[in-house]
Structure 1
Amino acid sequence: MSEPTIIFFLLICIVILLITVLYQQFAFRTGIQKKIQKISEKLKEITDTNSSERVMVFTENKELMELAAQINRLLENHLKVKADYCRSEIASKKMLSNISHDIKTPMTVILGYLEIMRINGTSTDEMLGKIEQKAENVMELINQFFTLAKLESGDMDIELSRIDVCEVCRESILDFYGILTNKNFQVDIDIPETSVYVHGNKEAIQRILFNLISNVIRYGADGKYLGISLRTDKNAVFIDVIDKGKGIDKNFVASVFDRLFTMEDSRNRNIQGNGLGLTISKNLALQLGGDIILDSTPNIKTVFSVKLKKMSY
């Protein structure tokens, strides 16, 4: 075979090889584009229909597989955010509904007494006392609502300092001494005589204890018992508020700190008339760097444990 012929065949082979390579590149790009287009169409379908589907890609291309995986992660996060938003919307609607009801009830009483006074042209100390009491109930509800709103929005500035938690506990018990005595409560106090210091805020801790003790008096009164004890470990201080009332079924323990959670089952106790007291207490404890833990055995013992950061100096 002559040299020109060999060169000719070599040129033909090179041209065929180049055409093959170019075709493969074209086919690869076309295939990638089609798969990307399918991903885009599927993603549009998912977002338009609010579907919970995922993007599926059948390919050996690692980059495309990684792209699909990241898109699916975003879709999962989107669904989670959407679910959280829906739960928040439901809770907010329930909160507004319950608060509207709780405000409407005392306001109806107030307006009723005012109408009687207007018709009769007279007033009595008893009527005025009931009007004042109901008005105070409304103000307390409104104050709780705005306190919770500030806590959840992060607008409440709580200054932390070195607090003698033993002294705060004693003062909180004294505030309820008259009520507990009149209701014939047995009160057990186990607080060290020596000071125990926490990193906290006195007003916030007092508010937490006020809500928890009020909760015992209002809903744990069947047991006629209130216990306050203080215990410590290496890093934390625990204030236990104990009662022996009807308690809380274990199925509801995880929900008692939710906004406006109430248990209508007559075999259990309502946690809070408007459902805000325990929620506020929980939020305050979290802002202090602590927590509130609930352990309840119905009709035997219910313990709300306030956990706070311990200070060793």
Structure 2
Amino acid sequence: MSLLPALGWWPAWLPRGGSLPHGAWRARHRVVMALLWAHVVAIPLYGMYRGNSLLHSWADTGLVAVAALVAGLGRLSRGWSSSIAAAGLMICSGVIVHLSGGMIEAHFHFFVMIPVIALYEAWAPFTLAVAYVLLHHGVMGTLDPQAVYNHPAARERPWVFAGVHAAFFAFASIACVANWWLHEQARLAAQQQSQRVNTIVDSLRDGLMVLDPDGRVLLRNPAGTALLGGVTPGDHRDGAPERYGFTRSDGTAVTDHDLMLEQALAVDGAHDFDLMVRNAGVPDGRVLNFTATGLPSTDAGGAPDVVVVFRDVTERHRTEQALADALSTEQAAVERLRELERVKSDFVSTVSHELRTPITSILGYLELLAEGDAGDLEPEQASLVDRIDRNSQRLLRLVEDLLKLSQIESSTLTIDRVPTDLREVVAAARDRVAWMLAARDLELAVDVPDQDVPLDADPAELERMLANLLGNAVKFTPDGGRVGLRLTSDDHGVALVVTDTGIGIPASEQDQLFTRFFRSTTAIERAIQGTGLGLTIVQAIVTLHGGSIEVESDVDRGTQVTVRLPRRLRAVA
């Protein structure tokens, strides 16, 4: 039985034997023992039924009883217990044949017992049973054929009877071995699959547990044990929060009812939740993310087991908390910046209002001086007054831009639409920048239609818009250049086009033109004065009128700004 495995060779078509799990072996052994003891009772009764004396029947049953007693001893190994029980069953078959007087039908007992002995799936009892049959049918059948076969032909040709029985018994034995081999292969495949699954589960870096409906832990991998601080699973869900030291990630307590609810939610689909673990194995605490999923139930209508996968997300929680704190700090900083922006806007507005009055007064007195109301001025004095007037005009323009910017930032800038002839707006804007052209060598070309160009608009704001565009064109065009202003009209609206042959704007900077305080590199390099507020104000005025503004510019070739205003006000974004 053990020779071939000891030599390192075993046919693949033969079961190795001895692989039956101990629990399954004990269950089968109990069945065999019950059958054996049943024979101890039944054989004497059968013997007397066949006309044998009570003493004769009990004498033949003695070996069966001894085999049953010895096979039932708990100190014997599996091999000894199963072999002795198998010998007892074979003795039962031989005794029944003997008590029946060799009746052919009694031989079926051998065919029934061989599958019973094959239940052990071990070579020792099975080989012993086969050897007993060979001894009984071969040797005894030859020496005393009448006692074994009870047939007239058996006395003349005992080997024929022995051969026929041997053939039937061989087929029965082969069928038992084949069935045994199939069981063993299936069991080995299941064991290999189980080993693979166990290897995979044990190699997981995430924790894994399987819980029954009562919350008992059926399976837990090493990573899960480590993540839970090495705490031993309890026999029930009750007390788990205290045993493991579970709390919510925000520090609130967790109860047994909470865990039962989480497990119940997992039955209907994957359920995700976080818990803090703090115990002797994890004194500093650890945040674990649990994902629970119900397994298919093997009991119709019964509650399913739940598989729980969990991982350490402490760092993620710390990062999220740090991000939340940083966001809170940033939001507070933004609020402070908004407050500072509001204070700055209020301050600029207040200061601008305070400056506007004295500057207006200065311009008024300068006009009186220039007109000679205080006496005629010498040419040098007139030049100084003119210079003061130009700088005062520039300062007034700056103050007005600051006031307008304050209105834009506080969303208080509004327009008062009235029927307006845009030709008058063009003329007023041209007069508004006349002081800038007085000291420059520039050509200003204004092209307007001969007929009225009516539009519902705010003439004062449009004048400011056009004055800012013309002022920029004058500032950024060298002497000898040309500045143009063209007004056109159609059924859809009007277009105001301001052109110049100035220094132009780099293409990479054109998308920043309407950003407040932005100044192009060409303006900075040539030290051209300005605040960077003009186009911001222009865009706000155009937007309030429902219009659009386009800029086309090439460095050293000039700029064209086109403002389109609709006849009907469009929704302002």
TM bucket normalised to smaller: 0.5 to 0.7
Other-structure match for 1:142: 399
Q: Does the residue aligned with 2:567 lie in a helix, a strand or coil?
A: strand
Q: Does the residue aligned with 1:32 lie in a helix, a strand or coil?
A: strand
8 A contact 1:222–1:246 mirrored in 2: no
Q: CA deviation at 1:241?
A: 0.5
Of 510, 514, 517 in structure 2, the residue corresponding to residue 253 of structure 1 is: 510
Counterpart mapping for 1:226-265 below 5 A:
226-232=483-489, 234-265=491-522
**Residue type at the aligned position of 2:272:** I
Counterpart mapping for 1:15-26 below 5 A:
24-25=263-264
Q: Does the residue aligned with 2:272 lie in a helix, a strand or coil?
A: helix
1:298 and 2:555 aligned: yes
**Residue type at the aligned position of 1:211:** N
CA RMSD, aligned part only? 4.5
Describe the shift of the 1:191–1:266 C-alpha distance in structure 2 as closer, same or farther (beyond 3 A): closer
Aligned residues: 237
Q: CA deviation at 1:183?
A: 3.0
Describe the shift of the 1:235–1:44 C-alpha distance in structure 2 as closer, same or farther (beyond 3 A): farther
Cα distance in 2, alignment partners of residues 49 and 281 from structure 1: 38
Summarize deviations over 1:179-232 as a string: whole Å, max 9, x none. 547634223332211222333210001001111111111221345201111234
Q: CA deviation at 1:42?
A: 5.8
**Residue type at the aligned position of 2:531:** N
Describe the shift of the 1:23–1:288 C-alpha distance in structure 2 as closer, same or farther (beyond 3 A): closer
Summarize deviations over 1:118-175 as a string: whole Å, max 9, x none. xxxxxx9589846676566544433321221112212233212332223321332344
1:32 and 2:272 aligned: yes
8 A contact 2:505–2:522 mirrored in 1: no
Of 194, 198, 202 in structure 1, the residue corresponding to residue 459 of structure 2 is: 202
Q: Does the residue aligned with 1:159 lie in a helix, a strand or coil?
A: coil
1:183 and 2:183 aligned: no
Q: CA deviation at 1:238?
A: 1.4
Q: CA deviation at 1:33?
A: 2.5
Q: Does the residue aligned with 2:517 lie in a helix, a strand or coil?
A: coil
**Residue type at the aligned position of 1:254:** D
Q: CA deviation at 1:234?
A: 4.8
1:46 and 2:333 aligned: no
Counterpart mapping for 1:53-132 below 5 A:
129=385
State percent identity of aligned pairs: 24
Q: CA deviation at 1:281?
A: 1.6
Other-structure match for 2:16: none
Counterpart mapping for 1:268-307 below 5 A:
273-307=530-564
**Residue type at the aligned position of 1:46:** L
Describe the shift of the 1:46–1:175 C-alpha distance in structure 2 as closer, same or farther (beyond 3 A): closer
1:163 and 2:420 aligned: yes
Cα distance in 2, alignment partners of residues 291 and 203 from structure 1: 18
Q: Does the residue aligned with 1:221 lie in a helix, a strand or coil?
A: coil
8 A contact 2:441–2:480 mirrored in 1: no
8 A contact 2:421–2:453 mirrored in 1: yes
8 A contact 2:495–2:564 mirrored in 1: yes
8 A contact 1:172–1:206 mirrored in 2: yes
Q: Does the residue aligned with 2:405 lie in a helix, a strand or coil?
A: helix
Taking structure 2 as the reference length, what is the TM-score of the superposition?
A: 0.35
Cα distance in 2, alignment partners of residues 139 and 22 from structure 1: 73
1:217 and 2:474 aligned: yes
8 A contact 2:503–2:522 mirrored in 1: no
Taking structure 1 as the reference length, what is the TM-score of the superposition?
A: 0.59
Of 425, 429, 450 in structure 2, the residue corresponding to residue 193 of structure 1 is: 450
Other-structure match for 1:10: none
**Residue type at the aligned position of 2:323:** I
Other-structure match for 2:430: 173
Deviates more, 1:274-283 or 1:236-245: 274-283
Cα distance in 2, alignment partners of residues 174 and 133 from structure 1: 14
Cα distance in 2, alignment partners of residues 273 and 160 from structure 1: 30
Structure 2 unaligned segments of length 5 or more: list them: 1-211, 216-259, 275-288, 292-312, 356-379
Query: Bigger relative contact order, structure 1 or 2, given CA contacts below 8 A and separation 6+?
Result: 1
Cα distance in 1, alignment partners of residues 478 and 465 from structure 2: 19
Cα distance in 2, alignment partners of residues 297 and 190 from structure 1: 23
Other-structure match for 2:35: none
Cα distance in 2, alignment partners of residues 304 and 278 from structure 1: 10
Describe the shift of the 1:285–1:160 C-alpha distance in structure 2 as closer, same or farther (beyond 3 A): same
**Residue type at the aligned position of 1:170:** A
Q: Does the residue aligned with 2:451 lie in a helix, a strand or coil?
A: coil
Q: Does the residue aligned with 1:157 lie in a helix, a strand or coil?
A: coil
Describe the shift of the 1:144–1:170 C-alpha distance in structure 2 as closer, same or farther (beyond 3 A): closer
